[in-house]
Structure 1
C-alpha cells in the first residue's frame, strides 16, 4: 500500500544485497568506496538515474566509470547521479511525477515538501545530462534562467518526470565522511529526447557502457549499486514495464544492522 512500510522478513545478506549486514561488515566491504571517519550526521539528498535500453532481447542499463582521481568511489562503475540542487524544484515541467511515485518518494522522508520531492527527481534528470549528455523530456518551448538547464533550452526540450519510477532508496550508514539519502530512479531509453555526441559537460564519468544487468553486476561497482541492480532485475521479472507504485526497497542502518525494508 502506498506510504506504508513493512519488513522483508527472513532475508539474509548475500553477495548481491546489503540487507542484513552489520556495521563492521559494511565498513570493511565499503572501505574502498567511502572514506571512513566523522562525517555529517544528516545525509544529503541525492538522486541517480537508471536508464534501461530494451531494444535488444535482454534489457541493458547505462553505467559510467568514475575517474580514479575521485576520492568518492574512484574507478567504480555507477549510474549517472549526484546531490540534489534545491533550485531544480523550481524548474518548469512538461509533466510532473505520477502521484503513486510522488507518494513513494515522500514515504519515510519526514516533512518532504512537493517542491523538494520534485527537486530530487529533477536532479537525476540534470545529472544524467551533465554526466552522460542525455536530455530526457519532450519537444517544446522550454525557458528558464537557470544556467544548469540551458542545454535543455537550446535543444527545445521540456523536462518531464511522469515516466520516472522509484526503484530503491538507500541512506549511507553513519561513520562516513560523506553521507547521502539517495533515490534510485529508473526510466527507459525511449524517453531520451536528445543524445549529445560529445557527451556531458562534466568529467565525472570517463567511460559510458550499456550493459545487460547480469554483466553489469560483474563489473567493479559499489556494493549498493549491485544491491539495487539485483532489486531491479527482480522487479523487471515481475513487471517489465515498471508500472507506477511498485514496492521500493529502502536500505538504512537500524541499530547495528543495515536493514532492507519495503516502502
Structure 2
C-alpha cells in the first residue's frame, strides 16, 4: 500500500502506521520489482499500481517486543521493528511470498495465524529499510509508512493463497514500473530504490541516510534520516 491516499476535505484524519515491502529480482541484468494493481472499487487508490503492504497492527508491535531474531541493520531502532514485521506479514497475505525460516511463532497471534500455519517464522534480517513517507494533510487517509527492500532470493516459500487485495501481480523492470499508473509517493520511492539497486551488492550499508518525505505547512520536504534512532516527527 502506498502512503498517498485520495484527496479529501477532511483535515483531521489520523495518521496510521504502515509498511511497504519491495521485492527485487536481481537474477537478470535489469532488476525487476513485484507490484500489483488495486481494485477499481476500492476507495483508497483505486486502479493504482503499488507495492505490497498495509497497516501495522497492534499484534505486530506486541510481536516485535518478544521477537528474538535479527533485524537489518542489527541495531534497527525498536520503534521501526514492528514495521518490518508488518511488511513481511502483508507481503505474505497479498502475494503468497514468504520471507522466513522454518520454525514456530512464540505464541498465537490472530493477525499472524495464516503465516504461522505455513510452519515458518518471519526473517526480518532479510529486509533493508530504505525510505519513509507521511501522507500529506487533506487526504481521506494518512499513513506513516516505512519502505523496505528484500531480494527475491530471500523468499523461502511461495504460497498460492492470497487475500486478493492486489490484482495483476507481476514483475516489472524499473522502466516498466515507471510507465504504470502510480501514486506520487510510489513514483518517488521507485526513484529511490533505483538508486539503491545501482549500489548493489553494497546497498545493505545504506541504512544511515534514508529519504523521509513529509509536508510541513505548504512545503513538501525530503530529509535524510537514520533508521537506527527513534524516527523524528515533522
State TM-score, norm by structure 1: 0.77
Identify which of 102, 105, 121 aligns with 2:76.
102
1:72 is paired with a residue whose SS is: coil
- Aligned CA-pair RMSD: 1.9
Aligned residue number for residue 13 of structure 1? none
Structure 1 unaligned regions, length at least 5:
1-29, 104-113
1:190 aligns with 2:164: no
> Take 2:160 and 2:21, find their aligned partners in 1: how far apart are those partners?
20
Residue pair 2:213, 2:221 contacting (<8 A) in 1 also: yes
Residue pair 2:18, 2:144 contacting (<8 A) in 1 also: yes
1:237 aligns with 2:211: no
1:262 aligns with 2:224: yes
2:126 is paired with a residue whose SS is: coil
Residue pair 1:157, 1:193 contacting (<8 A) in 2 also: no
> Take 1:120 and 1:157, find their aligned partners in 2: how far apart are those partners?
19
Residue pair 1:94, 1:159 contacting (<8 A) in 2 also: no
1:102 is paired with a residue whose SS is: coil
Within a 5 Å distance, the mapping from 1:3-82 to structure 2 comes to 33-40=5-12, 42-82=14-54
Deviations 1:7-55 (A, max 9, x none): xxxxxxxxxxxxxxxxxxxxxxx7xx51322143541111110011111
Residue pair 1:48, 1:82 contacting (<8 A) in 2 also: yes
Deviations 1:51-90 (A, max 9, x none): 1111111111000100000011100110111111021133
Identify which of 215, 222, 226 aligns with 1:253.
215
Residue pair 1:40, 1:178 contacting (<8 A) in 2 also: no
1:158 aligns with 2:121: yes
Residue pair 1:77, 1:222 contacting (<8 A) in 2 also: yes
Structure 2 unaligned regions, length at least 5:
226-234
Identify which of 221, 224, 237 aligns with 2:185.
224
Residue pair 2:89, 2:115 contacting (<8 A) in 1 also: no
Larger radius of gyration: 1
Aligned residue number for residue 179 of structure 1? 142
State TM-score, norm by structure 2: 0.86
